[in-house]
């Protein structure tokens, strides 16, 4: 049991994209705190803690998402928390990106996030409680060249969170975004081969990339009752990346 994160014991939490990277680290933190965790993903993994369930899901499918949520409800009786970590990135600017790539990124990162939230929101409203955490990005706060669809999708997620906080807040349901900086996960594997990698890492004020569990812990906090007066916000977990533009003049 993780004594630092209280109030998660027995909470039922659904994590999309829970089979890898940040979603998986979140599942591990929650399981260690006594939560009942359901990980939904396109792909299975051997690394899930034994107490976590795995369910296959494509977040861009409304019917699959609704069926999964109905099933979790039938078997657990409630859903206390939702984490939307399913996501993907495609490199490309206005000229090099295909329309198919644009559609795919927005379909998963933005529409998929909305569909997952829509599937659980009414259940949470009826119980007058619940916490939703979406994965945005520093690329949703700041522009980044050649990453047009991804930046657009993550900026939209941050704004969706603000809008939904206004809709859900009066019903006792909280929703927040987390914006990670560069985190070591399968999504970012191979980036260290780029000549720009060291410069990118140095823009993080802590001069290192983050680990997935450092984001998972922040998500666990937002799901717990320890964050009971926090809603509608976007919390960078980025080693200070979004706090300063480092210009070494002196």
Applying CB under 6 A, which part among 54-62, 123-131, 158-166, 197-205 lies near ligand NAD?
54-62
Residues 81-100 that bind ligand NAD (CB under 6 A): 85-88
Using CB under 6 A as the binding rule, whether residue 15 contacts ligand NAD is answered as no
Selected from 42, 73, 205, 226, the binder of ligand NAD by CB under 6 A is 42
Using CB under 6 A as the binding rule, whether residue 41 contacts ligand NAD is answered as yes
CA atoms within 13 A on the CB side of 128: 1
Structural Rg of the chain based on CA atoms: 18
Asked if residues 43 and 67 have their Cβ atoms less than 8 Å apart, the reply is no
Using CB under 6 A as the binding rule, whether residue 183 contacts ligand NAD is answered as yes
Instruction: Kindly determine how many residues on this chain lie close enough to bind ligand NAD according to the rule CB under 6 A.
Output: 29
Q: Which is nearer to ligand NAD, 108 or 223 (CB)?
A: 108
Q: Is 113 buried (19+), middle (13-18) or exposed (0-12) by CB count in 10 A?
A: buried
Options 150, 151, 203, 221, the catalytic residue: 150
Using CB under 6 A as the binding rule, whether residue 62 contacts ligand NAD is answered as no
Using CB under 6 A as the binding rule, whether residue 135 contacts ligand NAD is answered as yes
Q: Which is nearer to ligand NAD, 86 or 222 (CB)?
A: 86
- Alpha-carbon gap, residue 240 to 146, rounded angstroms: 22
Applying CB under 6 A, which part among 141-149, 162-170, 182-190, 194-202 lies near ligand NAD?
182-190
Two structure tokens written together for 208: 């290192």
Using CB under 6 A as the binding rule, whether residue 239 contacts ligand NAD is answered as no
Using CB under 6 A as the binding rule, whether residue 214 contacts ligand NAD is answered as no
- Alpha-carbon gap, residue 79 to 12, rounded angstroms: 5
Selected from 60, 217, 227, 242, the binder of ligand NAD by CB under 6 A is 60
CA 203-208-211 angle, to 5 degrees, is 125
- Alpha-carbon gap, residue 76 to 137, rounded angstroms: 31
Report in angstroms how near the CB of residue 42 gets to ligand NAD at its nearest: 4
Q: Which is nearer to ligand NAD, 88 or 142 (CB)?
A: 88
CA 191-194-200 angle, to 5 degrees, is 75
Q: Which is nearer to ligand NAD, 128 or 202 (CB)?
A: 202
| Contacts of residue 232, Cβ cutoff 8 Å, sequence gap at least 6 | 161, 162, 165, 166, 169, 175, 176
* Active-site residue, 150 included: yes
By residue count, the chain amounts to: 250
Using CB under 6 A as the binding rule, whether residue 20 contacts ligand NAD is answered as yes
Could you count the other beta carbons within 10 Å of the beta carbon of residue 95?
Answer: 7
Which residues lie near ligand NAD (CB under 6 A)? 16-17, 19-23, 41-43, 57-60, 85-88, 108, 112, 135, 137, 180, 182-183, 185-188
List, by residue number, the catalytic residues.
150
């Amino acid at each position: 049991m993780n004594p630092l994160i209280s109030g998660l014991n027995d909470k039922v939490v659904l994590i999309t994209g829970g089979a890898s990277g940040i979603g998986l680290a979140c599942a591990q933190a929650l399981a260690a705190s006594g939560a009942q965790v359901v990980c939904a993903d396109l792909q299975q993994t051997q690394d899930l803690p034994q107490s976590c369930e795995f369910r296959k899901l494509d977040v861009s499918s409304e019917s699959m998402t609704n069926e999964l949520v109905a099933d979790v409800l039938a078997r657990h009786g409630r859903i206390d928390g939702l984490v939307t970590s399913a996501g993907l990135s495609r490199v490309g600017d206005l000229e090099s990106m295909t329309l198919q790539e644009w559609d795919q990124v927005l379909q998963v990162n933005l529409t998929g996030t909305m569909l997952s939230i829509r599937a659980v929101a009414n259940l949470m409203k009826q119980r007058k409680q619940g916490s939703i955490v979406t994965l945005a990005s520093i690329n949703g706060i700041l522009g980044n060249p050649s990453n047009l669809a991804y930046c657009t999708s993550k900026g939209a997620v941050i704004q969706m969170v603000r809008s939904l906080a206004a809709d859900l807040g009066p019903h006792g349901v909280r929703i927040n975004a987390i914006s990670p900086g560069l985190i070591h996960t399968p999504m970012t594997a191979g980036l260290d081969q780029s000549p720009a990698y060291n410069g990118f890492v140095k823009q993080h004020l802590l001069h290192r990339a983050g680990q997935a569990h450092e984001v998972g812990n922040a998500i666990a906090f937002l799901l717990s009752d320890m964050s009971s007066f926090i809603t509608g916000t976007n919390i960078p977990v980025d080693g200070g990346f979004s706090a300063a533009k480092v210009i070494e003049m002196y």
